[in-house]
Structure formats: structure tokens, C-alpha cells
Structure 1
Amino acid sequence: MSELIYVGVDLGGTAIKVGICDQEGRLLHTYEGPTETDKGVDVVIDNIEKYVRHIIEQSPYTWDQLVGVGAGVAGFTNVKEGVIILAPNIGFRDVPIREILEERFVKPVKIDNDANVAALGEAWSGAGRGIDNCVCYTLGTGVGGGIIINGKIYQGFSGLAGEIGHIAVVPDLEAIQCGCGKKGCVETVSSATGIIRMAKDAVERGDRTTLLTVEKMTAKEVFDAAKAGDEVAARIVNRAAFYLAKSMSAVAAVLNPEVFILGGGVANAGDILFNEVREVYAKFTPEPLQRGVSVLPAQLGNDAGIVGAAGLHLRS
């Protein structure tokens, strides 16, 4: 085989996922192994090397066909220097991972944060395939984001562009403090954490809702209750969608993307979320900035990070 391949690494606190992609962004093979953060930084890096070598050995491809390795990590990264500045979930602080892995692989290595590589994955071969300008929201425990301009990740001057979860959209009288230290961030209402908090507040107030009977509150429980006609749950979902769409309108005024891609667990709610987001986006966004713009669900799921990390060598 003469086909060139790229390996992506999704470095998580529990598991390290690796995958082989071709030049078109097709995910050809995957492998997953434990991170073993409790054993220290050196073991985690050893595991990355081991899993990358394993997936190549178990595939029909050879090491010579590998162009490079890309890695996405949940944390602060210095992309230019290839250093993981701080990644609490894996116990990394100021780790020059690019230099270390390049010495071991004798192949080019690139890194970026998890939200950026997920966005790149969706832009390369997911919901944004063929689209040069898009913005991706990852709606999970928090709200992450990634900006793709002219087909490549936009980093900003210090690599922190795309922190769209920290756009302040909630009015002061309604705002609560975000983990970033500010008040009113979209993350406080449109993340799974925010939705659960609003649901628990409703229960504590004694609102008449079926959520009173829920033993373990999750965002899915809230969405399911809203779909079943629970008015309190519906108000919570609408509030989450409202402020999400309001932040998207602000982003549109600055970047004018062709597509907004919504991924993460919260986005799995489907039409009950997307219909409200699209309606509110149209309400707040000037008509010229609405033309030709789509709001789409992510397609790659948990594979977006692997694909995007592999794509760092072609699209960054």
C-alpha cells in the first residue's frame, strides 16, 4: 500500500483513544487503552507510544506510510511550542509532549485542545465536511468551542480562541458565577451542568413537575420530561436554548460562519433543542447574517477528537 495515513490521539483522563485516518478524513481503525494517570506522567506518555505503535502494527498499514501523529487534550496547550501547560484530568503541567513524542516516533507531532480538535474533525469529515467556515459548540459538562476559518483552526494570538462557552449572555440579575470566575457565561445555562442545576432549583422551589420523582438528575431526564409535556422542564430547555442561540448570534456578527455545529451529550436532545435554537437565532441575528447559515448536529460523536487530532497535519 502506498496510501498515506495520519494517527490521531484523544488523550483523556480515563482512556487514550487512537485512530488511523486517511487523507480524506475517513477513520480506518481505532484502538483504546487505559490512561493510567495514577502511575504518573511518564507512564501516560509510554501508553500513548504503545497504543500508537499497536494500532499501526494491527493494521494493514506500515510505519513508513505514517505522515504524523496529532493529539488532542482537555486542558491548556501551547500549540506553537507543543507543550501541555495544564491538563488536570491527566496530571500534566508544562509537559513538552511534542518534543518527547517526536523523539520516540521520529515523526512530526502536533497538539491542540480537545474542543479544537473535535471542531476540526467535524469540519474535516463530519457535519461540516466541505465547509470552510464553521463554528462548533460542544455541549457537555461545560460548553466548549472551536472555530474553523478557511478550513483551518483559528487559534488567536495566544491559542485561546474558541472559548465560546464563556461569552456572557445572561443578564446580571439572573446570572450566576461560572467556573471561569465571571458571571453570566453561556456555560452556566446551556451545559449539562447548567441544565441539571436549573432542574434541581425548580425541585427545591417546589415547582409542579415530574422531575420531583427523578432520583438521579441528568440533562437527559430534563429533556425527556420536556418531550413528555412537563412545562417546568420545557422552560428549562427553552432557557438553555435561548442563551445558546443568543451567544451564536454574537459569534455570527463577528465571524459570519456558514454552519454552526452542535455536539456533545446535550445536543443529543434533538429537535426539542435545535428547533428552539434556530428560532431564537433568527430572532436575534440580522437577516443578512442568517442567509445560507445552517445549525446542524455533529455527526462523528466520540470519534470527532480522534479524527480532528489526525487532521492537525493537514488542516492546521
Structure 2
Amino acid sequence: MEKRYIGVDLGGTNIKVGVVDPAGKLLYKTERPTRAEEGTEAVIRRITSCAREAAEAAGASWDQIAGVGVGLPGFLDIPRGVVKRLTNLPWENVPIRDLLEKAWERPVMIDNDANVAALGEAWSGAGAGVSDLVCITLGTGVGGGVIAGGRLVHGVGGAAGEIGHIRMEEGGAPCGCGQRGCLETIASATGIVRMAKEMVASGRKTALAEAARAGTLSSRDVFREMEAGDSVAREVVERATDALARAMATLSVVLNPARFIIGGGVARAGDSLFRPLREAYKKHALPSAAEGVSIVPAQLGNDAGVIGAAGLVARRGD
């Protein structure tokens, strides 16, 4: 019987569970509502039952399941398998690894959700075959994961890969981490919209004004109007991509990755994002550190989390 691995991507709204083969191919995926308001024990029961149901639906016996990986959105004590605090669920000091191992009688590994997404892309996505890469997710915030020598980098306190909290602007906009001017306040979807609204409020003429005043402005609108020739939209995108490129240039001289993988909702802008980002990276990066480096879109989309979570156990001996 070929081994199978289960990946769990726990979010504030949904629990995603996937069954993955040893090559990183997603065989089956399902979702259930998290229903965090029902309490921690209820959510854990939902995770355990959903995993068993997913294995059955994928045609795998539980004996074939070699382990389960779980991606979690928050602060973790990874060696002890404990959730210290989650960002969008009211969990504190939950020994989730021990609870799940007792329920499943299988090895369980946990990691940050951004890290498991990076591992998914490295295993069977845009980073397949690359041993040194950085994955950056541009969504409501900016997440990141670092793969060096084929392994996830955690650092002494587990904060490695917190790319969104590299300080880019002295005295800039306040960030949820308590600092000001973090990359997250500039290059995320939230940051892009904030900058556009500030320019509208300052009296700049732009096609973005109506949506900004109505409260419906999105980063997608900003990229669309940039392509249509709107000067304000162009300035916002240039500021966001320049900040991201400067952060990537810094990472290049520290880590010297072969590839930067960019995912998340903002990356759906396609060439409207990647064209100015690549140009800005060339301008800021040390040539010797940037030589041969590629900047590519993520491939796995919403599946990266469950595939990467499964990879925590499937690739632990790599």
C-alpha cells in the first residue's frame, strides 16, 4: 500500500483538508466551516472527523495514512506542538499536536500557515526542484516562507519568514505588529488601498476617487486603472512594488535564493504586478546576488496550504 499524507489548513472561516501522495500530488480536498464560536474542543473534533472522512473519500484506508500536518495562522511553539496564540481564532496555549495524535494515533506536525504554503510551492508548485527559495504571499497582509537547502527556515524563535514585518519606511503607517512602516503596510492589498485613499483625500484627480469615497476600492481596481493610464494608480503600484523589491533585494544578499514565488490575491494582477516588480528588483538588487534569480507567480493557489501541511510529514526526512 502506497503511503498517503493528510494536510490540514486551519482558517478562521474554513478548515481545508487534503489527501496527498508521496510526490506532492493532491488526491482529494474538502472544506468544512470552522465555527470557532463553538469552542476549541469542537473545532478539534471537526478537524479529526474531517481528516478521516477525507481519507475515505480519497480511497485510502487509515492504515495508509503515514502522518498529518497542520498549518495554523498564528504564533506557535513548533517543537512542543503547541498553539501559543492564533490571529483569527480565540486559541491560547492549546497542545494541538498531542490532542490530534491521541485522536488519530498518527504522527502530527504543525507549522505556520505561511510556511506550509511555501513548502507546498517548493514541493510540487512553482518551486519544484529548487532548493533555495522565498515565497511571499500578498493578501490582506504580507506573509512569507523561506526554504534553504530544501528545508523550511524557522529561526530560534520561529519568526523567520516574517517578511511582511521588515521595516521599509521610518515613521510610516502603523502596522498590526506594533511597528510602523512595515512592508505589510505598503505592499499588501490593504496597504495599496490605503495609499490610494490617502492620495484621493489629498485632492489628487484619479479614476479611483469614486470607489475610494464609497468604501468599495480594491487593489484590483488600482491595478486596472494603472493599466488604463491613471497616474495616481501608477504611483501607488510603483510605491508598493518598489518597497517589495527593496525587501527582496535585502533577502537576496542574506539568503541568495534562486527563486522568489509571489502568491496571494494581489498576485492575481499578473503582469501589472510582475512587470514593475521585476524592473524594481533589477534596480535595487546587488547584481551578483540577483544573477539568475527568477520572480514567478505561485502555482498552487488555495491548495498550497494543504499540500504544504502534508509535506511537513512527507518530507521530514529530506
Shorter-chain TM-score range: over 0.9
Please give the residue correspondences for 1:1-316 in structure 2 after superposition, counting only pairs within 5 Å.
2-170=1-169, 172=170, 175-214=172-211, 215=214, 216-316=216-316
CA-to-partner distance for each residue in 1:38-71, whole Å, 9 max, x for gaps? 1000000000001001111222111111010000
The alpha-carbon deviation at position 104 of structure 1 amounts to 0.6
Residue by residue over 1:98-146, the C-alpha shift from the partner in whole angstroms, topping out at 9 and shown as x without a partner, is 0000001000000001100000001111100010000010101111100
Give me the TM-score of the superposition, normalised by structure 2.
0.96
SS in 1 for 2:288: helix
- Return the offset for 1:224: 1.1
> Does structure 1 retain, via aligned residues, the 8 Å contact 2:116–2:304?
yes
Question: Given that residues 151 and 315 in structure 1 are in contact (C-alpha distance below 8 angstroms), is that contact kept between their aligned partners in structure 2?
Answer: no
Q: CA deviation at 1:233?
A: 0.5
Pairwise CA RMSD of aligned residues? Answer: 1.0
User: Which amino acid in structure 1 is aligned with residue 26 of structure 2?
Assistant: L
Structure 1 residue ranges, 4+ long, deviating more than 6 angstroms after superposition: none
SS class of match (2:307): helix
* Contact 1:226–1:233 under 8 Å retained in 2: yes
Residue 314 of structure 1, CA deviation: 3.0
**Equivalent-residue separation in structure 2 for 1:292 and 1:283 (angstroms):** 15
Question: What stretches of structure 1 of length at least 5 have no aligned partner?
Answer: none
SS of equivalent to 1:7: strand
Give the distance between the partners of 1:293 and 1:36, measured in 2 at CA: 42
C-alpha distance after superposition, 1:162-201 (max 9, x if no partner): 011111122x26x222221112211110001100101111
1:180 match: secondary structure: coil
Aligned length: 313
- The AA in structure 2 aligned to 1:230 is D
* Cα distance in 1 for residues equivalent to 2:279 and 2:49: 48
- What secondary structure sits across from 2:93 in the alignment? strand
Q: Give the letter aligned to residue 152 of structure 1.
A: R
The aligned amino acid for 1:267 is A
Higher mean C-alpha deviation, range 55-64 or range 104-113: 55-64
- Quote the offset at 1:275 in angstroms: 1.2
- State the alpha-carbon separation in 2 of the partners of residues 73 and 151 from structure 1: 21
SS in 2 for 1:23: coil
Secondary structure of residue in 2 paired with 1:117:
helix
Please give the secondary structure, in 2, of the residue aligned with 1:81.
Answer: coil
Structure 1 residue 157, shift from structure 2 partner: 0.8
- Report the secondary structure of 2:191's partner residue: helix
CA distance in 2, matches of 1:146, 1:168: 17
Does structure 1 retain, via aligned residues, the 8 Å contact 2:142–2:187?
Answer: yes
- Cα distance in 1 between the residues matched to 2:199 and 2:181: 19
Q: Deviations over 1:71-91 (max 9, x none)?
A: 001111111000111014121
CA distance in 2, matches of 1:168, 1:211: 28
- Where do 5+ consecutive residues of structure 2 fail to align? none
- Given that 2:67 and 2:314 are in contact with CA atoms closer than 8 Å, whether structure 1 keeps it comes out as no
CA distance in 2, matches of 1:33, 1:179: 28
Partners in 1 of 2:138 and 2:260 — Cα distance? Answer: 13
Contact 1:120 1:315 in 2 (8 A): no
Q: In the alignment, residue 55 of structure 1 is paired with which amino acid?
A: A
Q: CA deviation at 1:229?
A: 1.2
Q: CA deviation at 1:297?
A: 0.4
Q: For residues 155 and 58 of structure 2, what CA distance do their matches in structure 1 show?
A: 37
8 Å CA contact retained: 1:261, 1:298: yes
- Structure 2 letter corresponding to 1:167: I
